[in-house]
């Protein structure tokens, strides 16, 4: 289960294409007394099959990061995924047939994750897992 990242700041994110891994580095809002004791965290998505982030405002504030069904990702972002595949082949061959894609991805153990923001960066990730690591301040 993912922890609440509500009102945390996005410090940075990394995409490693070869290892199919995304790291989302966050830190709590230091102005929030309830979060002062929390340490920065890194959410590591492993086994990434596709993702799209948009709206990077270079000062992004997270509203939520939620694990969702693959079907929900397709319901919300399917038209963009289909267009991306048509234009560039991204995010991968599974996107050639979205009617069958949920089955193909589920067979690989893929889950959906949706990042929403109060300000800035939002998007989705399809990956095998999302792990949370506490990091040094």
- Regarding pTM above 0.85, the answer is yes
Residue with tokens 């809002």: 29
pLDDT above 90 for 26? yes
pLDDT digits (tens, 9 = 90+) for 46-77: 999 999 999 999 999 999 999 999 999 999 99
How much of the chain exceeds pLDDT 90, in percent? 85
Spacing of C-alpha 5 from chain mean position: 12
pLDDT at 37 (0 to 100): 74
CA-CA distance, 137 to 126, in Å (whole number)? 28
pLDDT at 24 (0 to 100): 97
pLDDT at 50 (0 to 100): 97
pLDDT above 80 for 36? no
Name residues whose C-beta falls within 8 Å of residue 28's C-beta, 6 or more positions apart in sequence.
7, 8, 9, 35, 36, 38, 39, 40
């Amino acid at each position: 289960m993912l922890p609440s990242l509500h009102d945390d700041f996005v410090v940075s994110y990394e995409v490693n294409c070869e290892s199919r891994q995304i790291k989302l580095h966050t830190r709590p809002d230091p102005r929030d007394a309830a979060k002062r004791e929390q340490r920065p965290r890194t959410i590591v998505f492993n086994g990434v099959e596709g993702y799209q982030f948009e709206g990077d405002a270079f000062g992004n504030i997270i509203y939520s990061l939620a694990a969702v069904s693959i079907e929900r990702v397709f319901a919300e972002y399917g038209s963009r995924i289909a267009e991306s595949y048509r234009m560039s082949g991204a995010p991968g061959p599974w996107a050639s047939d979205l009617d069958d894609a949920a089955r193909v991805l589920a067979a690989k153990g893929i889950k959906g994750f949706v990042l929403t923001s109060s300000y800035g960066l939002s998007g989705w990730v399809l990956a095998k897992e999302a792990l949370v690591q506490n990091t040094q301040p």
